[in-house]
Amino acid sequence: MEITDEKLIELKERANNIRISLIGALITAGSGHTAGPLDMADIFTVLFFHTLKHNPKKPDWPERDRLVLSNGHICPVLYSTMAHAGYFPIEELKTLRKFGSRLQGHPHRDFLPMLETSSGPLGSGLSQAVGMALADKIDHGLTNQRRIYALLSDGELECGQSWEAAMLAGKEKLQNLTAVVDRNNIQIDGYTEDVMPLESLSDKWRAWNWHVIEIDGHNIEEIADAFETAKAIFGKPTVIIAHTIAGKGVPEFERDYRWHGKPPNKEEGEIAIKELRTLGGKIKSEHQ
Amino acid sequence: MLNPNLKLNEKMFDEKVDQVPIRQGFGEGLLKAGEENLAVVGLCADLTESTRMNLFAEKFPNRFIQVGVAEQNLASVASGLATMGKIPFISSYAMFSPGRNWEQIRTTICYNNRPVKIVGSHAGISVGPDGGTHQAIEDMAITRVIPRMVVLSPCDAIEAKKATLASVDTGTPVYLRLAREKTPIMTTEATPFKIGEAQIFWHPPAGGENPKVGIIATGALLHKALLAAKELDLPAGRQGKIEIEVMNLSTVKPLDEKALIMLAKKTGRIVTVEEHQIRGGMGSAVSECLAKNYPVPMEFIGVDDQFGQSGTPEELIEHYGMGTRDIIKAVNKILRR
């Protein structure tokens, strides 16, 4: 499905609003992760407003595509996107990480049943997505239309289990499975290539019989095209290695691993929201 | 005497008693479950024949998934299958699943509330010659501590088959504990089985004395507990005949608290018997219940904070203090307390 010019403008605006909302949620929460949610906002936007077969008014619609967020710590972007898509009120984002909130610090289905999985401990989301894809393969063979999406961080590819799952998906030729790796090059302790080098990442996936697509994770059209291409790949799962800028959208946060696991304080958050509202100063009329 | 209401195997004390590995009962149960319910799927981590999942795999190749030596993946892939409505049984040696993949079981299965059935074969010290690395004696502790988990430890192959079939419909995660070696058949097809219900296998004859000690056993060691009760029932001993009641506690979680409290009230003394670490195992679970509801003196038969080693099952059971003699000793000790 091609993206029209109007759609492109709409998606860019939505991604920006999703970023603004998640920063707001993080300020109120007082803890949580900033860099990953910001850099995945464009991919979440394309998924929820273009690619995914889903119905926010009927979250348990059986025919829906399945989305597994493996690195649960970036849930501010998941929650923000879900709210903007109409799963729950945007106002509710202010309850993030608060006692009794449906928006737990890491996603938990007991509190928010519309989530496909609870997640947090890294490295197990791809396995769960592989299980979902296998279930459809058992029931429908190669004729199955539904797609299973797994969103992964680059750092969690240091977990051996990620590769256990990759091996099985390649062996089972799970063409109904698309994984996305957020290649933002950072993790808690530093830059991935210092903590534990992952390159050559694409070769690793290819070795397990995956089709690999590398994209600019902030280019809406490239993102949408990659998801479309994945649907056309026969006999292999697809991984989209999305090159992203950690903290994307707020220059003060960008490329700095120290923003992996902390929220902005009120002042930093307000600067960030202003940056986003004015698109980095491009819009001069922003109310001071 | 054996409880006549349970239709137990009357030949269980014969020298030539039928002996079948408990895991065989699982294999047959899963095959039947697969025939009855199309949602049942099987996953294995390179131990298909050892765990007897091969019976299912051969009959339903399309519903069997070989994941290779990857137990963490085993658990989480099963969680994903369950998300889509499947009822997955995952099998490996207990040491590796739930041993190696405990966090995946906690998060992706139990925290996610997915009805995956974790089948740990080769549990207990009686795994034998393979040695301590392969003898899972911590598995009940690490599974019963997880919310939502049901923990089953059948006493023989027939009960294991029934436990497997009963697991299908619980809607919860289940840990099913199996053993490798051949062990005596104590139950029959006609013996009732229900998850969560403890059963008194041995009690004094009607009109006889009140039992003085209650023995609670789980798994194949139940046979040794029954042998001990039978021996203590003979008037020949130094202190004469000691009336015993023996309970089969095959559901370690959720506990049949009512039955445990009733046994404690009736006997005033409890000995627990399990092929597992004493710390954290079935005896600990029983003591948690009784300490709160009806405290009585207890003795614990099990492995006392050690690892296993190579040997024959019988040698190891004796060495680590879980034989019939040890059970009788524990009964005598508790009577002196």
- Nearest-angstrom CA–CA distance, A42 and A218: 6
- Nearest-angstrom CA–CA distance, B223 and A137: 45
Closest to A261 (Cα-Cα) out of A21, A28, A30, A32: A32
Per the domain annotation, does A208 fall within a domain?
yes
Per the domain annotation, does A196 fall within a domain?
yes
Q: Is the dihedral of CA B68, B71, B73, B75 positive or negative?
A: positive
Sequence-separated (6 or more) residues with CB below 8 Å from residue B320: B125, B303, B304, B306, B308
Which amino acid, A79? Y
B293's tokens: 């509801």
pLDDT per residue as tens digits for the range A103-148: 999 999 999 999 999 999 999 999 999 999 999 999 999 887 899 9
Question: Which residue in B15, B36, B58, B71 is the catalytic one?
Answer: B71
pLDDT at A281: 77
DSSP letter at A158?
G
Q: Looking at chain B, which residue has its C-alpha nearest residue A135?
A: B81
Which amino acid, B140? M
Classify B230 as helix, strand or coil: helix
DSSP letter at B285?
H
Q: Looking at chain B, which residue has its C-alpha nearest residue A62?
A: B84
Sequence-separated (6 or more) residues with CB below 8 Å from residue A274: A286
Chain B closest CA to A220's CA: distance in Å? 29
Closest to A101 (Cα-Cα) out of A27, A25, A41, A36: A25
Residues in chain B: 337
- Nearest-angstrom CA–CA distance, A42 and A219: 8
Using beta carbons and an 8 Å cutoff, which residues of B are at the interface with A?
41, 62-63, 65, 67-68, 70, 72-73, 75-86, 88, 103-104, 107-108, 111-113
- Nearest-angstrom CA–CA distance, B128 and B181: 9
The total of other beta-carbon atoms located within 10 Å of residue B28's CB is 20
Cβ-based burial of B15 (10 A; exposed 0-12, middle 13-18, buried ≥19): exposed
Per the domain annotation, does A284 fall within a domain?
no
User: At A60, phi and psi to the nearest 5?
Assistant: -95, 15
B71 classed as catalytic:
yes
pLDDT at A287: 52
pLDDT at A288: 46
Supply the CATH number for residue A82's domain: 3.40.50.970
- Nearest-angstrom CA–CA distance, B164 and B30: 6
* Cα dist from B64 to B38, B59, B178, whole Å: 12, 9, 20
CB B37 within 8 A of CB B168: yes
Per the domain annotation, does A85 fall within a domain?
yes
Classify B17 as helix, strand or coil: coil
pLDDT at A256: 92
Three-state SS annotation for B289-327:
HHHHHCCCCEEEEEECCCCCCCCCHHHHHHHCCCCHHHH
Which amino acid, B210? N
B155's tokens: 């006493």
Classify A103 as helix, strand or coil: coil
- Nearest-angstrom CA–CA distance, B114 and B93: 21
Global model pTM greater than 0.90: yes
Using beta carbons and an 8 Å cutoff, which residues of A are at the interface with B?
66, 68, 108-110, 116-121, 123-124, 127-136, 138, 160-161, 164-165, 167-168, 172
Closest to A124 (Cα-Cα) out of B71, B244, B330, B161: B71
- Nearest-angstrom CA–CA distance, A102 and A181: 26
The CA angle B169-B259-B273, to the nearest 5 degrees, is 90
Sequence-separated (6 or more) residues with CB below 8 Å from residue B291: none
B80, A161: Cβ pair inside 8 Å?
A: no
In a mutational test of the A interface, the residue from B84, B87, B100, B105 whose CB has the highest number of chain A CBs within 10 Å is: B84
* Residue ranges of domains in chain B, CATH in brackets: 4-16+192-336 (3.40.50.920), 19-184 (3.40.50.970)
Residues of B in contact with A164 (CB under 8 A): 67-68, 70, 72-73
pLDDT at A213: 98
pLDDT at A142: 81
CB A11 within 8 A of CB A50: yes
pLDDT per residue as tens digits for the range A184-237: 999 999 999 999 999 999 999 999 999 999 999 999 999 999 999 999 999 999
Chain A closest CA to B32's CA: distance in Å? 19
Residues of B in contact with A127 (CB under 8 A): 72-73, 75-77, 79-80, 104, 108
CB B277 within 8 A of CB B141: yes
Closest to A15 (Cα-Cα) out of A77, A69, A91, A107: A77
Q: What is the pLDDT along chain B (337 residues), one digit of tens a residue?
A: 999 999 999 999 999 999 999 999 999 999 999 999 999 999 999 999 999 999 999 999 999 999 999 999 999 999 999 999 999 999 999 999 999 999 999 999 999 999 999 999 999 999 999 999 999 999 999 999 999 999 999 999 999 999 999 999 999 999 999 999 999 999 999 999 999 999 999 999 887 778 999 999 999 999 999 999 999 988 766 667 899 999 999 999 999 999 999 999 999 999 999 999 999 999 999 999 999 999 999 999 999 999 999 999 999 999 999 999 999 999 999 999 9
Per the domain annotation, does A288 fall within a domain?
no
- Nearest-angstrom CA–CA distance, A127 and A161: 8
pLDDT band at A286; cut points 50, 70, 90: low
Considering only CA atoms, give the Rg of chain A: 18
pLDDT at A145: 83
Per the domain annotation, does A286 fall within a domain?
no
A117, B73: Cβ pair inside 8 Å?
A: no
| Number of domains within chain A | 1
A128, B83: Cβ pair inside 8 Å?
A: yes
Residues of B in contact with A135 (CB under 8 A): 41, 80-81, 83-86
**Residues spanned by the domain of A215:** 5-277
Beta strands B150-152 and B251-253 are antiparallel
B328's tokens: 């009788």
Residues of A in contact with B45 (CB under 8 A): none
Classify B33 as helix, strand or coil: helix
* Cα dist from A250 to A95, A263, A268, A275, whole Å: 23, 13, 10, 6
The CA angle A127-A128-A129, to the nearest 5 degrees, is 90
A117, B67: Cβ pair inside 8 Å?
A: no
User: At B127, phi and psi to the nearest 5?
Assistant: -55, -35
A160, B72: Cβ pair inside 8 Å?
A: yes
Closest to A154 (Cα-Cα) out of A105, A106, A195: A195
B265's tokens: 């009230």
Q: Is the dihedral of CA A35, A196, A216, A11 positive or negative?
A: negative
- Nearest-angstrom CA–CA distance, B246 and B2: 9
Residues in chain A: 288
Chain B closest CA to A172's CA: distance in Å? 9
